[in-house]
């Protein structure tokens, strides 16, 4: 018995030694860098937080663990160019009905930073959001003020999404769920309208160019004239012009970029047949929620339409296990660092995104988010009316 106790003590001391070493190493790592990020969020508590960050060109990424004491935190990071990061703690997550965790924009701390810049974040945590302001550079100050002014919209988005999750889990009436999705999409559109209003009122702010990035082609064409030459000359402004060019290459009527996967799959093989591309991820709850309906449409149209799922930002093992568990019978492709980035080829900005390609290989339409009109469009194209 004494031998077992000795072994247990040795094991315990070894674990404590490893933990102490990690804490010391982390403390040293968090004190190295040309930028300092500190702040205080009331209600955040005392715990370990994960910080993930990187530069705008994605040449440098990092993850680090920091200690939050009574809502206070501070750490350093090295930025050789403009970038940013996120600070995440366990009490920022919402618990879904299925037991899995979920994070929403309303309850997340993000920051933007320049080389040799220090910023300070202050605010408080609510049930559905973290309301905070950031000081340190004009861009992040404008961004956090905009977020604070419109935080009620983000809170409403979170509330609606949690309701949708609950009703779907308990298999509520489809009409109720569709109604909630409509309200959720309306809040997303409302928040976006606030961004567009900001652009018209602040044409000489870099945040206006940042808000315009990722918008649809027509919106960029409409609002880019508002931006001053000074803002268009920035890296963000130049990226906007490049984004507009990609939009023109993937607009309706253009030939769909070919996809070659593992040398055995090519979109060109399916000429003469409609094709549906579904950009999704196992981590995307909205994507996963659509699979029952996608499965129905696959069963209905598999002789006339080639369905192709394109998983993004997923690890191969997780992706393969998910496909097998969920019984996804249609063609599946993994878009990761080992393949050509198809999200850039098709200018994918959100998940899920679906693309319909006609028999000639031309893009018919691109549908972003949980889009009921995608299914209506597919029915219309195949001249089959809903019963």
SS3 for the chain, per residue?
A: CHHHHHHHHHHHHHHHHHHHHHHHHHHHHCCCCCEEEEEEEECCCCEEEEEEEEECCCCCEEEEEEEEECCEEEEEECCCCCEEEEEECHHHCEECCCCCEECCHHHCEEEEECCCCEEEEEEEECCCCEEEEEECCHHHHHHHHHHHHCHHHHHHHHHHHHHHHHHHHCCCCHHHHHHHHHHHHHHHHHHHHHHHHHHHHCCCCHHHHHHHCCCCHHHHHHHHHHCCHHHHCCHHHHHHHHHHHHHHHCCCCCECCCCEECCCEEHHHHCCCEEEEEEECCCCHHHHHCHHHHHHHHHHHCCCEEEEEEEECCCHHHHHHHHHHHCCCCEEEEECCCCCCHHHHCCCCCCCEEEEECCCCEEEEEEECCCHHHHHHHHHHCCCCCC
- The gap between the terminal CA atoms of the chain, to the nearest Å, is 74
258 vs 237: CA distance, rounded Å: 29
Contact (Cβ atoms closer than 8 angstroms) between residue 112 and residue 139: yes
Which string of DSSP letters, residue by residue, matches 172-193?
--HHHHHHHHHHHHHHHHHHHH
Is residue 373 domain-shared with residue 268, that is, in the same domain?
yes
pLDDT at site 20: 52
Domain contains 209: yes
Contact (Cβ atoms closer than 8 angstroms) between residue 274 and residue 359: yes
* Residue 161: closest CA among 188, 189, 194: 188
Q: What is the CATH number of the domain that holds 310?
A: 3.40.30.10
Domain contains 195: no
Point out the domain boundary residue: 92, 110, 135. 135
Domain contains 72: yes
Helix or strand holding residue 372 (H, E)? helix 372-381
Rg (CA), the chain: 24
Domain contains 124: yes
Domain contains 103: yes
Contact (Cβ atoms closer than 8 angstroms) between residue 47 and residue 91: yes
155 by DSSP, 3-state: which?
helix
Is residue 282 domain-shared with residue 326, that is, in the same domain?
yes
332 - beta bridge partners?
Answer: 309
Token pair recorded at residue 350: 């959100």
Token pair recorded at residue 100: 């899995």
Tens of pLDDT along 86-124?
999 999 999 988 888 888 999 999 999 999 999 999 999
Domain contains 55: yes
Per-residue pLDDT of the chain (387 residues; tens, 9 = 90+): 566 666 656 666 566 555 555 555 555 555 668 999 999 999 999 999 999 988 876 677 888 899 999 999 999 999 988 889 999 999 999 998 888 888 899 999 999 999 999 999 999 999 999 999 999 999 999 999 999 999 999 999 999 999 999 999 998 898 999 999 999 999 999 999 999 999 999 999 999 999 998 788 889 989 999 999 999 999 889 888 888 887 777 778 889 988 888 777 888 888 889 999 999 999 888 888 889 999 999 999 988 999 999 999 888 899 999 999 888 999 999 987 666 788 888 888 888 999 999 999 999 999 988 777 899 899 888 875 444
Parent domain of 95: 21-135
Point out the domain boundary residue: 135, 160, 185. 135
Is residue 275 domain-shared with residue 332, that is, in the same domain?
yes
Give the CA distances from residue 311 to residues 103, 104, 182, 283, 332, in Å, rounded to whole numbers and listed in that order. Answer: 20, 21, 25, 10, 7
Token pair recorded at residue 14: 């070894």
Is residue 129 domain-shared with residue 230, that is, in the same domain?
no
Q: What is the CATH number of the domain that holds 68?
A: 2.60.40
Is residue 265 domain-shared with residue 377, that is, in the same domain?
yes
Is residue 227 domain-shared with residue 281, that is, in the same domain?
no
Upstream peptide bond of 362 is cis (omega within 30 degrees of 0): no
Domain contains 162: no
Tens of pLDDT along 22-58?
555 555 555 668 999 999 999 999 999 999 988 876 6
Is residue 240 domain-shared with residue 326, that is, in the same domain?
no
125 - beta bridge partners?
Answer: 130
Contact (Cβ atoms closer than 8 angstroms) between residue 333 and residue 265: yes
Is residue 245 domain-shared with residue 275, that is, in the same domain?
no
Is residue 308 domain-shared with residue 212, that is, in the same domain?
no
pLDDT at site 311: 93
51 vs 343: CA distance, rounded Å: 25
Is residue 268 domain-shared with residue 361, that is, in the same domain?
yes
304 vs 216: CA distance, rounded Å: 30
Is residue 104 domain-shared with residue 214, that is, in the same domain?
no
Number of domains in the chain: 3
Point out the domain boundary residue: 90, 108, 135. 135
Contact (Cβ atoms closer than 8 angstroms) between residue 227 and residue 208: yes
Is residue 279 domain-shared with residue 367, that is, in the same domain?
yes
Domain contains 52: yes
């Amino acid at each position: 018995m004494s031998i077992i106790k000795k072994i247990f003590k040795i094991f315990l001391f070894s674990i404590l030694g490893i933990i102490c070493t990690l804490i010391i190493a982390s403390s040293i790592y968090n004190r190295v860098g040309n930028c300092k990020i500190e702040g205080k969020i009331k209600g955040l508590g005392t715990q370990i937080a994960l910080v993930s960050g990187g530069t705008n060109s994605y040449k440098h990424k990092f993850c680090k663990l920091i200690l939050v004491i009574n809502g206070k935190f501070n750490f350093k990071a090295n930025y050789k160019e403009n970038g940013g990061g996120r600070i995440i703690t366990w009490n920022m997550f919402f618990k879904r009905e299925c037991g899995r965790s979920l994070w929403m924009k309303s309850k997340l701390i993000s920051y933007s930073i320049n080389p040799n810049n220090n910023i300070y974040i202050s605010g408080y945590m609510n049930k559905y959001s973290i309301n905070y302001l950031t000081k340190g550079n004009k861009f992040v100050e404008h961004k956090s003020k905009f977020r604070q002014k419109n935080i009620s919209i983000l809170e409403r988005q979170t509330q609606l999404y949690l309701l949708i999750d609950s009703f779907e889990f308990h298999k509520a009436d489809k009409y109720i769920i569709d109604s909630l999705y409509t309200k959720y999409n309306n809040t997303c559109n409302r928040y976006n309208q606030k961004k567009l209003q900001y652009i018209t009122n602040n044409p000489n702010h870099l945040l206006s160019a940042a808000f315009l990035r990722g918008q649809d082609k027509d919106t960029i064409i409409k609002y880019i004239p508002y931006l001053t030459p000074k803002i268009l000359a920035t890296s963000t402004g130049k990226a906007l012009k490049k984004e507009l060019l990609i939009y023109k290459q993937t607009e309706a009527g253009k030939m769909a970029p070919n996809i070659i996967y593992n040398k055995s799959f090519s979109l060109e093989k399916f000429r003469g047949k409609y094709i549906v591309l579904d950009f999704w991820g196992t981590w995307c709850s909205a994507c996963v929620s659509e699979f029952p309906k996608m499965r129905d449409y696959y069963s209905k149209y598999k002789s006339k339409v080639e369905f192709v799922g394109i998983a993004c930002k997923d690890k191969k093992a997780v992706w393969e296990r998910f496909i097998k568990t969920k019984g996804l019978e249609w063609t599946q492709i993994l878009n990761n660092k080992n393949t050509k980035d198809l999200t850039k080829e098709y200018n994918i900005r959100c998940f899920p995104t679906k693309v319909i390609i006609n028999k000639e290989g031309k893009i018919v339409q691109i549908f972003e988010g949980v889009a009921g009109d995608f299914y209506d469009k597919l029915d219309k194209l195949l001249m089959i009316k809903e019963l």
